Amino acid sequence: MNTHTQTMPVERSAPGKVILCGEHSVVYKRPAIAVPLSDLRARATVVPAPKNQGLRLVAADLDEETLLQDAPPQHPLAAIARGVLGYLDPTPTFPLGGEGPDATLTVRSALPIAAGLGSGAAVSVASARALAAYLGHELDAEMASALSYEVEKIHHGTPSGIDNTVIAYEQPVYFVKGTPPQVFTIGATFHLLIADSGIPSSTREAVAGVRRRWEAAPETYNELFDRIAALVDAARTAVAGGDVRALGPLLDENHSLLCEMGVSLPELDRLVDAARAAGALGAKLTGGGAGGNIIALVPPERAGAVLAALEAASAARVWQTTLGEG
């Protein structure tokens, strides 16, 4: 592939995401729906650096930096950079020297880490696109997603691939592991609140916990996964058809099934209950659980009251967003 190093700085960004329904069961090939959070983004810039510097990788929010050549294989920014460089020129006589251009890649993110909002995949997609663009190549969604999936494996062990997919496509997706993502259009404006419990969530541990319990009681868990699959299909119909009121009870039901799977926490249940009591149409944990965030679907006129109730219930942060606008 033809690549050339340009001397102009480039910037690319990628959104966060929320899983509306189907987390965990999606690891077992059941469907899930995720939507991008276009106003909460990770941004990556690549700027030229002095000759022979190599590629410097800077995680500005974490105050960490390294040269690509010194970074271990598990380093997430190094892994995405190596993936991009290998994709752009997989030959052994790599014209960029195998360690990238003389440049500095800097990442900043508005997304909380370990909170189920896709921070890792957003950083990977933004970085992959920025580095490729710096080298004269725009990555399409499929390739940005595939390269980021490799890094998701470092973060999560056995990811379904839903995070990198929804973030790279930046469109609502109905996702089944191992099949092409189905992007779809939202039929009305949905108002969501996202509330952070402030408790860090390890997706890797949450997924491993479900796997242990599934192995111990496969019939029970397969039935839970199938019930979630049925509600995900109903949710897709509601979201695509713009039926806001039909979606609420489906979110509630999904939260109950996630509780049965053992991935909720009293702190998450408290936020979910507070949202419902203040007028949310439905609420549930989102992402890996055992910490992280909940989402609440609200009628616009109740958004302020639900937000106040979430804050009173000790949410560390609350974001307000709309889906399907414009």
C-beta neighbour count of 1 within 10 angstroms? 10
Q: How many CA atoms lie within 13 A of 51 on its CB side?
A: 0
For residue 281, which amino acid is it?
A: L
Phi/psi at 32 (5° precision): -145, 160
Crossing angle, helix 119-134 and helix 162-169, to 10 degrees? 50
Length of the chain: 326
Smallest distance from ligand PMV to CB 65, Å:
25
* Nearest residue (CB) to ligand PMV, 101 versus 288: 288
Residues marked active site are found at 163
- Which residues, at least 6 apart from 162, have a Cβ–Cβ distance to it below 8 Å? 19, 23, 26, 32, 34, 173, 175, 177
Nearest distance in Å: CB 160, ligand PMV: 3
Say how far apart CA 82 and CA 151 lie, in whole Å: 10
Of 54 and 291, which CB lies nearer to ligand PMV in the complex structure? 291
Shortest Cβ 99–ligand PMV spacing (Å): 30
Minimum distance between the CB of residue 203 and ligand PMV, rounded to whole angstroms? 4
Q: Report the residue number, 26 or 280, with the smaller CB distance to ligand PMV.
A: 26
Which residues contact ligand PMV (rule: CB under 6 A)? 19, 23-24, 26-27, 116, 118, 156, 159-160, 162-163, 201, 203, 207, 287-288
Task: Pick the closer one to ligand PMV by CB: 58 or 176.
Answer: 176
Exposure letters 252-274 (e unless 16+ CB within 10 A, then b): bbbbebbbebbbbbebbebbbeb
Residue least distant from ligand PMV (Cβ): 287
